Amino acid sequence: MYIILFGSPGVGKGTQAKILSEKLGIPHISTGDILRDAIRNKTTLGLEAKKIVDSGQLVPDEIVVGIIREVLKSEQTKNGFILDGFPRTVQQAESLEHLFNELNISEVFLIHITAHTEEVIRRLSLRRSCKQCQAILNLNEIENPEVCPICGAINSLYQRHDDEESVIKDRINIYNITTFPVLDFYKDRKKCLTIDGFQPIEAVNAQIMKELKPD
């Protein structure tokens, strides 16, 4: 099964990707993670990407698509994948569509997770990261905010700059302008499923599974 997870920052794509990966037995492919892996493993494309990142520029689409191609051609994705974080523009969607055609990948589901802007801002404002183990947590789910519940580090939880309210609003604005139009590109090309991300995590996942496997 081939899945693209789509939605604004903070709607829960990463959370649902991990749950779906376990339930469906297919890998969660985060474009940010595979880009960092390519740089760390010093692949040909990874070395190119590192030069660009080190210079403070954004990695161009052709390199990102090339890294995605390497992953999609690997053994780990032979039974499918869950793509998270790409495409973010119509141009990227066009490049990804060419890649799918090249690799004979069809029957791709696009899962569009939605949530009210106010809820997204609230969720992201409550996120904290651990300096020690890099875990991303929610203040509502932490018993003692001075201790990381994952690694036990003390006073290691902090709010990332991109989780500050003003930055969140900017990210959502960018999403609405550059990323949301991707839906129009896919509406006649893929099986598009719209899921209410305002529900509890378990309910969101249950709805996704029902839509993917209605029988």
Domain ranges of the chain: 2-117+177-182+191-212
What value does the mean pLDDT take over residues 105-114? 93
Cα dist. 10→49, 63, 156 in Å? Answer: 26, 26, 22
Return the CATH architecture of domain 2-117+177-182+191-212.
3-Layer(aba) Sandwich (3.40)
Q: With 80 as the cut, is the pLDDT of residue 56 above it?
A: no
- Give the chain's mean pLDDT: 91
Residue 93 near residue 87 (C-beta atoms within 8 A): yes
171 carries an active-site annotation: yes
Q: Which of 18, 50, 122, 127 is catalytic?
A: 127
- Residues 160-197: tens digit of each pLDDT: 888 889 989 998 999 999 999 999 999 888 899 999 99
The pLDDT of residue 214: 66
Catalytic position from the list 23, 51, 73, 160: 160
114, 157 Cβ separation under 8 angstroms: no
Would residue 13 show up in a list of annotated catalytic residues for this protein? yes
pLDDT at 10: 87
pTM: 0.84
pLDDT of residue 97: 94
Residues 6+ apart with CB under 8 A from 88: 178, 179, 182
**Catalytically annotated residue among 123, 128, 171, 190:** 171
Amino acid type, 36: R
Is-catalytic flag, 160? yes
